Amino acid sequence: MTKPSKKIVVLGSTNTDMVIAGKRIPVPGETVSGGKFMMNPGGKGANQAVAVARLSAKRGQCTFIAKVGDDIFGRETAARMKKDGIAAHLVIDRKEQSGTALILVDAKGQNVISVALGANGTLSPKDVEPFRKDIEGAAALVMQLETPVETVLWAAKVAHDKGVTVILNPAPAGKLPKSLYPLVDWITPNETEAELLTGVKVSDAASAAKAVKVLKKRGVGHVVITMGTKGCWCGDCGKLFPALKVKAVDCVAAGDTFNGAFSVALAEGKSCAEAIDFAQKAAAIAVTRPGAQSSVPYRKEIVKLREQG
C-alpha cells in the first residue's frame, strides 16, 4: 500500500470580494453607472488554496491556515473550504471583521482592487504555532503578503528548517526583511511586484533577467516572473514562456490560480518548465470566467486542454 502524498500548506488571507463589473474603471472623482454587482469569495491565500485543491491529482491535498472574524463571512469561508476538500485551520478574531475587498472590473477584464485586511492583518506566529506540524510535514508551504510579514517570516523559517519547499507570491509587494529571502525556494512576483522589490522596471525578457539577478543575489533559490499577456519569465530556464491567447473577461484570480497550479506541479516533481506550462493553462482558463474562486478550474479541465493541443 502506497503512502499518501504530503499536502501543500497555504498560509494567507481570505476575503469576501465585492465586485462591480462595468464598461470602464472610473477615474478619481468620477461616477460610472451601469455596472453589474457580484459578491464572491476571494483573498489571495484562499484563492491559492482553492487552486491547489482543485488542481491536485486527488482530493484532500491542501491545508489552509488563515484568520477570520466572528461573522458570517468567516463561517462561509469554512463552509467553502470544506466543499473543496480543504483542511482549513481558521483562527477566530473576536475583535476584527473578516477581510473584504472592493473590486472594479472593466470590459477588457482589467481590474483595480482595494482591500480591508480585517482579521487577516492580525494573523500572528502565536496563531499559527498550533499548526506547526502541518507546515513541517508539508510538501510545500505557499504564502503571500496579505498577512503580517513577521508571520510569513516565522512560517518560512519553520518550513525551511525542515526542508519544506517555501513558495512566496510577494503580493501585494512591499519591503521584505533581508532574512526572509534566503528562506524562500521560489518567489513568483508579477512585473509590478518585481520592480517594487528590486528597483528594476520589468517590461521584457532582458529587464526580467536583471530583476532575477537582484533577487538571487539576496538569497532566493528560484525566480519566476509573471508578465501578463507577455507570458512568464523563468530565471532557471533563462527564457520567456509565451502566454496562451484567450479572450479575458476577468483577471482577478489569474495570478492566484497560476501560483496554486505552479505549486501543485512542483510538489509533484515536475520541472520548472512543466510547472509553468501547467500553471499557464490553469490561469488561461481562469481569466475567461468572472469571479475569483469561481473562476479557478479543476485538474480535468487542464488535462482536456492538453489533449486539444
Grid coordinates in use for 137? 510535514
Mean local confidence (pLDDT), 102-128: 91
DSSP 143-183: E-SSS-HHHHHHHHHHHHHTT-EEEE---S-----TTTGGG
**142/266 Cα distance (integer angstroms):** 11
The answer to whether 275 and 165 have CB atoms below 8 angstroms apart is: no
Mean local confidence (pLDDT), 172-199: 96
The answer to whether 154 and 136 have CB atoms below 8 angstroms apart is: no
Does 172 sit behind a cis peptide bond, omega within 30 degrees of 0 on the bond before it?
Answer: yes
The answer to whether 48 and 263 have CB atoms below 8 angstroms apart is: yes
In sign, the C-alpha dihedral spanning 4, 8, 13, 14 is: negative
pLDDT value, residue 5: 59
**225/159 Cα distance (integer angstroms):** 23
pLDDT over 90 at 124, yes or no? yes
- Using one digit for the tens of pLDDT, what is the confidence trace for 146-184? 999 999 999 999 999 999 999 999 999 989 999 999 999
Q: Is 184 exposed, middle or buried (0-12, 13-18, 19+ CB in 10 A)?
A: buried
Lowest-pLDDT range of 21-25, 98-102, 141-145, 302-306: 302-306
**87/78 Cα distance (integer angstroms):** 9
**252/289 Cα distance (integer angstroms):** 10
Grade residue 2 by pLDDT with cuts at 50, 70 and 90.
Answer: very low
The answer to whether 11 and 120 have CB atoms below 8 angstroms apart is: no
**Average confidence score pLDDT of the chain:** 93
**Taking the CA atoms of the chain, what radius of gyration do you get in angstroms?**
18
DSSP-derived 3-state class of residue 264: helix
- Using one digit for the tens of pLDDT, what is the confidence trace for 244-272? 888 877 777 889 999 999 999 999 999 99
pLDDT over 90 at 113, yes or no? no
Grid coordinates in use for 260? 496554486
pLDDT value, residue 101: 84
> 8-298 has which CATH code?
3.40.1190.20
In whole angstroms, how far apart are CA 138 and each of 10, 23, 227?
Answer: 10, 44, 29
**14/138 Cα distance (integer angstroms):** 21
Q: Catalytic residue positions? A: 256
